[in-house]
Chains A and B, each alone.
Chain A
Amino acid sequence: MTYIVKPQFHHPSLTTNKLGFTRRDYEGRVSTLCAGCGHDSISAAIVQACFEIDLEPHRLAKLSGIGCSSKTPDYFLSASHGFNTVHGRMPSVLTGANLANRELIYLGVSGDGDSASIGLGQFAHAMRRGVNMAYIVENNGVYGLTKGQFSATADKGSKSKKGVVNSDSGIDLVALALQLGATFVGRSFSGDKEQLVPLIKAALTHKGAAFIDVLSPCIAFNNHKGSTKSFDWVREHNEAVNKLDVLLGRAPITTSYEPGSLVEVAQHDGSTLMLRKVAHDYDATDRVKAMTYLQERQAVGEIVTGLLYVDPEAEDLHDALNTVHRPLNGLSNSELTPGSGALDKINAALR
Chain B
Amino acid sequence: MTRQIQATNDFVVKFANVNGSGSASANGLFVKAILRMGVAVAARNIFPSNIQGLPTWYEIRVSGNGWLGRRGGVDLMVAMNPQTWDRDIAEIDSGGYLFYDSTKPMPASKFRDDITVVGIPLTALCNAAYVEPSKRKVLKNIIYLGALTYLLGIEQDVVEALLAEEYASKPALIPANIEAMSIGFNHAKANLKPLGLQLKRADAVGDRIFVDGNTAAALGAVYGGATVCAWYPITPSTSVAEGFTDYCKKLRHDPETGEARYAIVQAEDEIASIGIVVGAGWNGSRAFTCTSGPGVSLMQEFIGLSYFAEIPAVIFDVQRGGPSTGMPTRTQQSDILSAAYASHGDTKHVLLLPEGPNECFEFGAQAFDLADRLQTMIFVMLDLDMGMNEWLIEPFKWDDSKVLDHGKVMTADMLEAGADFGRYKDVDGDGIPWRTLPATHPSKGAYFTRGTSRDPYARYSEEGAVYVDNMERLLRKFETAKSLVPGPILKKASKQTAYGVIYYGSTSPAMDEALATLEARGLQVDALRVRAFPFAGEVFDFIAGHELVFVVEQNRDAQLRALLINEGGVDPARLVKVLNYDGSPITARFIQAELAKGMGAVDVNAAGEMAQ
Contact = CB atoms under 8 A, between A and B. Distances in A.
Contacts of A59: 439
Contacts of B219: 346
A100 B272 contact: no
Contact of B278 (A96, A124, A318, A335): A96
A339 B399 CA distance: 8
A74 B460 CA distance: 10
B463 interface: yes
A81 B449 CA distance: 8
Nearest to B257: A324
Contacts of B258: 322
Nearest to A343: B398
A253 interface: no
Contacts of B28: none
A107 to B, nearest CB: 12
A31 to B, nearest CB: 13
Contacts of A85: 275, 278-279, 305, 451
Q: Main SS of the interface on chain B? A: loop
Interface string B385-409: 0000000000111111011100000
A71 to B, nearest CB: 9
Nearest to A349: B209
B239 to A, nearest CB: 14
Most-contacted residue by chain A among B258, B264, B276, B279 (CB, 10 A): B279
Contacts of B459: 2-3
A61 interface: yes
A341 to B, nearest CB: 8
B262 A328 contact: yes
B267 interface: yes
Contact of A335 (B261, B274, B275): B261
A83 B282 contact: yes
Nearest to B284: A329
B9 to A, nearest CB: 19
A316 to B, nearest CB: 12
A300 interface: no
B272 A125 contact: yes
Interface stretch (B166-174, B222-230, B521-529): B222-230
B162 to A, nearest CB: 12
Contacts of B462: 2
A203 interface: no
B442 A328 contact: no
Nearest to A25: B443
Interface in A90-114: 91-101, 103-104
Interface string B246-268: 01000110100111111111011
B227 A80 contact: no
Interface string A330-351: 1101011111101110110011
Given A58-B439, A86-B305, A324-B261, A92 B285 contact: no
Contacts of A321: 260, 263-265
B595 interface: no
Nearest to B399: A340
B209 A74 contact: no
A323 interface: yes
A3 B460 contact: yes
Nearest to B301: A86
A206 interface: no
Contacts of A351: 207-210
A96 B281 contact: yes
A96 B446 contact: no
Interface residues of B, number: 77
B463 A2 contact: yes
Contacts of A96: 228, 230, 275-283, 285, 287
A58 B268 contact: no
A82 interface: yes
A89 B462 CA distance: 24
Interface in A54-69: 56-59, 61, 63
B442 A324 contact: no
A103 B438 CA distance: 11
A141 interface: no
Nearest to A350: B209
B450 interface: yes
B366 to A, nearest CB: 13
A84 interface: yes
A181 interface: no
B177 interface: no
B168 to A, nearest CB: 13
A101 B287 CA distance: 13
Chain A interface residue number, banded:
35 or more
Interface in A295-329: 317-318, 321-325, 328-329
A103 B440 CA distance: 12
Contact of A84 (B247, B441, B448): B448
A329 B404 contact: no
Contacts of B251: 338, 342
A87 B210 CA distance: 44
B25 interface: no
Contacts of B400: 339-340
A78 interface: yes
Nearest to A101: B283
Contacts of A61: 283, 438-439
Given A97-B282, A323-B259, A323-B260, A58 B441 contact: yes
A114 B330 CA distance: 38
A73 B448 contact: yes
A324 B261 CA distance: 6
Given A58-B442, A95-B265, A331-B227, A84 B277 contact: no
Given A95-B279, A96-B228, A329-B227, A81 B436 contact: yes
B259 A325 contact: yes
B305 A101 contact: no
A322 B259 contact: yes
Contacts of A3: 459-461
B47 interface: no
A58 B443 contact: yes
A122 interface: yes
Contacts of A101: 283-285, 437-439
B463 to A, nearest CB: 7
A114 to B, nearest CB: 13
A249 interface: no
A121 interface: yes
A183 B447 CA distance: 31
Contact of B451 (A86, A331, A339, A346): A86
Contacts of B208: 351
Nearest to A59: B439
A24 interface: no
Contacts of A23: none
B271 interface: yes
A134 to B, nearest CB: 16
Interface in B267-317: 267-269, 271-285, 287, 301-302, 305
Given A92-B267, A338-B251, A347 B396 contact: yes
B43 interface: no
A129 interface: yes
A262 interface: no
Contacts of A344: 395
A61 B436 CA distance: 13
22 contacts: A58-B442, A58-B446, A61-B439, A82-B448, A89-B301, A93-B276, A95-B265, A95-B272, A96-B228, A96-B276, A99-B285, A101-B284, A104-B438, A129-B265, A321-B265, A323-B262, A328-B263, A329-B437, A331-B261, A343-B398, A347-B396, A351-B210
Interface of B: 207-211, 219, 222-225, 227-228, 230, 247, 251-252, 254, 257-265, 267-269, 271-285, 287, 301-302, 305, 395-400, 402-404, 436-443, 446-452, 459-463
Given A79-B446, A81-B438, 12 more contacts: A83-B448, A83-B450, A91-B275, A95-B279, A122-B271, A323-B263, A328-B280, A329-B437, A339-B398, A346-B247, A346-B396, A347-B207
For the complex of A and B, list the 5 residue pairs with the smallest distance between their C-beta atoms, beginning with the closest. A96-B279, A92-B275, A100-B285, A329-B284, A81-B438
